[in-house]
Amino acid sequence: MQQRHRVVIIGSGFGGLFATRALRRAAVEVTLIDRTAQHLFQPLLYQVATGILSEGEIAPSTRNILRRQKNARTILGEVTAIDLTERTVTSTAVGVDITIPYDSLIVSAGSATSYFGHDDFIDHAPGLKSIDDALALRGRIFGAFELAEIEPDPVIRQEWLTFVVVGAGATGVEMAGQIAELAHRSLRGDFRCIDTRQARIILVDGADAPLATFGTRLSARAADQLKRLGVDLWLGNMVVDVDDTGIEVVDNAGHRVRIPSRTKVWSAGVTASPLARTLAAQTGVQLVRGGRIPVQPDLTLPGHPEVFVVGDMIALDDLPGVAQVAIQGGKFAAEQIKRRLLRKNTNRRFDYFDKGSMATISRFHAVASVGPIQVGGFLAWVMWLVVHLVYLVGFKNRLTTLFHWAVSFIGSGRSERTGSHQQAIGPIATRALGLGPLSSPADVARRTDNKEAV
């Protein structure tokens, strides 16, 4: 019996999942490899970090999503090697290495947070790219209010109550807006010693306007709404240093200023998955800005018509790193594979259809740019709600998400404030006490005791 065409897909994010689903009726065997067992809806990560949604709502199990797709299997593992000559992919998970041969390969491994060469900032200003990041940030944000409540020194208390978000793109604006709502509205009556409305939320960016890619009118509207929420905009400021207790910026005139703050969030840049480098090394292709790999107009790797690269990793026609580029790219790659098997014409190019972009600023306020239409305010917010609900995977997720949005936006509650000790107080308190990395609450207690003994 002839073996079925083997398609290996790396990444169960937007590009990988939509490619897999587009192959459901094809005579192929799909192997989907990801280092996590979930499909992550990244645009709502900031809502997990700020206690609006639970992680399960935006990161359903990939295995469960694909349970009825009999021609697809999922494998947990970090892809460590791609051999373009032997046509194999090797992945590893806790010491278990698997090498899988392919006839067609789709690489959709996305991107990671970039610190522009300052990787030492990571511990002090985490990014927001994964569920781990969102839960760690949730712990830091809610933990900061808890530690402010018990801090006797007013200077340190204000450090706990100062939140700095770096990067005024969509993620930074959404984070700053939600932390402001949290401090000024949701947590207002929960504390006895501190007034959470005293919290300072600072949004820093080297550019002169927030949401610059949305055009001058919507950008000005966003700036206006952020100020109304109580967010301080520090625009035209470059971050030059970050440590445990603060962040240093240099403005356009060269003045260096330190902002004392215990909680910093980094949403200033991304860089393509290192797998782009792996592919480039074997093809002689030069990576471009942001570590992206140039691809052919049909999304294939130069010299390798059997390898497609889609989503955040690619450089093609200045396409942005957004979900729709990955979704449409994944579907296009799957379609090309099907056409090849049916011996249909595959001499086609990937034509991206721009459905527009949106960003929320706070409850009832968003900006949306769809073709020639530019709207801000409540209408844009409703559009944002509908679009995000449509793209969330799973009926149950949509229902519970809608419920949690009602709790947070119509009411003022945050139903997802839970953080494990390790995610929350543990790391924050540990850093504040200068104890270095720890692994458990018992460690915290033991090392705190030791410190007191010294």
Ligand X SMILES: Cc1cc2nc3c(=O)[nH]c(=O)nc-3n(C[C@H](O)[C@H](O)[C@H](O)COP(=O)(O)OP(=O)(O)OC[C@H]3O[C@@H](n4cnc5c(N)ncnc54)[C@H](O)[C@@H]3O)c2cc1C
Q: Which parts of this chain interact with ligand X (CB under 6 A)?
A: 10-16, 33-36, 40, 42-43, 45-46, 78-79, 108-110, 128-129, 170-171, 273, 275, 311-312, 321-324, 326
Shortest Cβ distance from residue 15 to ligand X (Å)? 3
Q: In what order do the strands lie in the sheet with 162-166?
A: 231-235, 200-205, 162-166, 263-266
Count of C-beta atoms within a 10 Å radius of residue 353: 6
Minimum distance from residue 245 beta carbon to ligand X (Å):
26
Q: What is the smallest separation between the CB atom of 231 and ligand X, expressed in angstroms?
A: 18
* Interacting residues of 231 by C-beta distance below 8 A, sequence separation 6+: 176, 177, 180, 201, 202, 203
Q: Which is nearer to ligand X, 151 or 181 (CB)?
A: 181
Nearer to ligand X, 143 or 311 (CB): 311
Active site (annotated) includes residue 151: no
Minimum gap (Å) between residue 212 Cβ and ligand X: 15
Among residues 57, 159, 174, 181, which one is catalytic? 174
Supply φ then ψ for residue 400, to 5 degrees.
Answer: -70, -35
Nearer to ligand X, 196 or 360 (CB): 360
Cβ proximity to ligand X: between 160 and 163 the closer is 163
Provide the minimum distance between the beta carbon of 48 and ligand X in the complex, in angstroms, as a whole number: 10
**How many CA atoms are closer than 13 Å to the CA of 184, on its beta-carbon side?**
17
CA 365-14-296 angle, to 5 degrees, is 115
Shortest reach from residue 119's CB to ligand X, in Å: 18
- Please tell me the distance from the alpha carbon of residue 217 to that of residue 421, in angstroms, as a whole number: 44
* CB 441, min distance to ligand X, A: 29
In the bound state with ligand X, the residue whose beta carbon lies nearer, of 17 and 144, is 17
The residue nearest ligand X at its CB is 13
Residue nearer to ligand X on the CB measure, 110 or 177: 110
Closest to ligand X by CB, 311 vs 426, is: 311
φ, ψ dihedrals at 405, nearest 5°: -65, -40
Give the residue numbers marked as catalytic.
Answer: 174
